[in-house]
Each structure stands twice: as C-alpha cells, then as structure tokens.
Structure 1
Amino acid sequence: MRVGFYLHGNQPVERVLPQIARAALGQGQRLLVVSGDDAQLAALDKALWEQFPEHFLAHGFAGGPHDARQPVLLADSCANANGAEVVALADGQWREEAATFPRAILLFDENARGSARAIWRQFDGKTDVEREFFEIEGGKWVRKA
C-alpha cells in the first residue's frame, strides 16, 4: 500500500484535487474522493467540471444509480462503490478504511501539519506501507520524502 501525504499549503483543496484526479485517470485508475463536509464536496464537484475544461473529468456523487460506473466518485465515507484503486481524503481526516485501498492520499493544509505527522508515524515500522510526502510548489506537486 502507498500512502501519500499532500500538503496543499494555502491552495484550497478544490484547486489542487483536479490535478490528482486527472493524474489518476491518466493512469487508468478510479478515484474515490472523501470529505465529511458537504460544502467541500459541492466545491470539488464544481472544480472537477471547470478546472480543466479541455479535459473531461467524469464524476458523480455517491448514492446514485451509477456509482459503479463513475471514474471519480465524491463521497462522505470510504465505501468503495466505484471500485477505486485510489482514495483521496480531501477534508484532511484520516479514516482507517483508507488503508484498504492500494493507494491513499491525505490532503492537508498548514493547520493540519501536526495531525498529518501523527498519522505518518502510525505507519512507522510497517514494511507493507510506502509513505510519500508531497508539497505544492508553483502549482505542481513536488515529492519531498
């Protein structure tokens, strides 16, 4: 399993998540985006439609009749209704269910840096987990660790 820690700094999540969605879809992977904040999910929905108008980022909200067909599914839990290989925790809250995915991405800002470090340490000594740390610089994700 790979766990990515993505520090988005002063950029709002809805500004940076479409890049992650585009990359996942470009690699033929499905993505589950999780947030416990309905307003954030609505903002992410809008951003996925508008940020890259030249690229169609098909997506939908969990709970619809076509969840299993959605390449990107927006949800309030880690229930993997679309068969996603990647889960992105957009609200910065770690959920233990995320560890069941081949790849989990924890998005967080400066205010949550301390809690992200604590989550990082939860994986100390686990040989079946590869941790990565990325930071947004100049509009691009740069791997730091």
Structure 2
Amino acid sequence: MRVDFYQLSRDPAEVALPLIAGKVIGSGERLLVVSADGEQRKRIRQALWSAGPDTFLANGEVGDGQEERQPILLSDAPQPANGAKFMAIADGQWREGSEPFARTFYLFDESTVQQARGVWRELRSREAVEHYYWKQEGGRWIQAG
C-alpha cells in the first residue's frame, strides 16, 4: 500500500485532482475520489470534465447509475463501485476502505493538517506501507521530507 500526502497550500483539491486523475487514468487504472462535501464533489466533477479540450476526464458520481463503468467515480465513502485500486481523499478527512487500495492520494489543507500529521505517524508504524509527502512550490508539486 502506498499513501501520497499532498499538502494544499495554493490550489484547492479541485485544481490538484485533475492532474492526479489524469496520471492515474493515463496509466490504465481507475480512481475513486472521496469527499463528504457534496458541493466539493460537484466542483471536482466540473474540473474533471473541463480539464481541457483534449484532456477532459470522464467521471460520474455514486448514485448516478452505471458506477462500474466510470473511470473516475466520486463518492462520500471509500467503496470502489468502479473497481478502482486508487483512491483520492479530497476533503482532508482520512478514511480507508474495507480492502486496502494500492495507492491513496491524501489531499489536505491548513484546516486538516493536524489530522494529516496524525495519519502520517500512524502509517509509519504499519508494515508494508510506503508514504510520501508532496508540497506545492512555485506552482509545481515537489516531493519533500
């Protein structure tokens, strides 16, 4: 299991997620995006659809139907109805699925940084968990500490 911690300082999750989602989809995988905030999920969906004329990222939300066909599925729970092995947590609230995801992208901001630090410490104590920390610097994501 791998967890990538993304500290949002400049851009909100709806700006960062299309970049992550594009790489996941480009590698042939599916993505589950989780947020308890329905308005945030709506903003993320719009950002994914309008990522660019050649790069729009097809997506759907749990409850819309045909979830299993969606390359990117948005939900309020870590249950990959689309068969995703990759999950992005957009609202900064850590959660895990009943089955571990191969890779989790954990996005958090200043309001959830304390929880993220606790999750980092907890994951360090687990065997077979890789974790990486990314931060924004000059408009780019760089791996830190």
Gaps of 5+ in 2: none
Shift of residue 125, structure 1, vs aligned partner: 2.8
What is residue 5 of structure 2 aligned with on the other side? 5
* Identity across matched positions, percent: 44
What is residue 105 of structure 2 aligned with on the other side? 105
What is residue 129 of structure 1 aligned with on the other side? 129
Q: TM-score, normalised by structure 2?
A: 0.93
Task: Say whether the 8 Å CA contact 1:98–1:104 is kept in structure 2.
Answer: no
Shift of residue 137, structure 1, vs aligned partner: 2.3
What is residue 51 of structure 1 aligned with on the other side? 51
Q: TM-score, normalised by structure 1?
A: 0.93
Task: Say whether the 8 Å CA contact 1:87–1:98 is kept in structure 2.
Answer: no
Task: Say whether the 8 Å CA contact 2:6–2:108 is kept in structure 1.
Answer: yes
Task: Say whether the 8 Å CA contact 2:78–2:96 is kept in structure 1.
Answer: no
CA distance in 2, matches of 1:96, 1:57: 24
What is residue 40 of structure 2 aligned with on the other side? 40
CA distance in 2, matches of 1:113, 1:65: 34
Q: Which moved more, 1:78-87 or 1:124-133?
A: 124-133
* Matched residue SS, 1:121: helix
Residue type of the alignment partner of 1:70:
Q
Residue type of the alignment partner of 1:23:
K
Gaps of 5+ in 1: none
- Report the count of equivalent residues: 145
Q: How does 1:27-106 map to 2 (within 5 A)?
A: 27-97=27-97, 100-106=100-106
Could you list the runs of 4 or more consecutive aligned residues of structure 1 that deviate by over 3 angstroms after TM superposition?
Answer: none
Shift of residue 98, structure 1, vs aligned partner: 7.4
Task: Say whether the 8 Å CA contact 2:51–2:57 is kept in structure 1.
Answer: no
Shift of residue 56, structure 1, vs aligned partner: 2.6
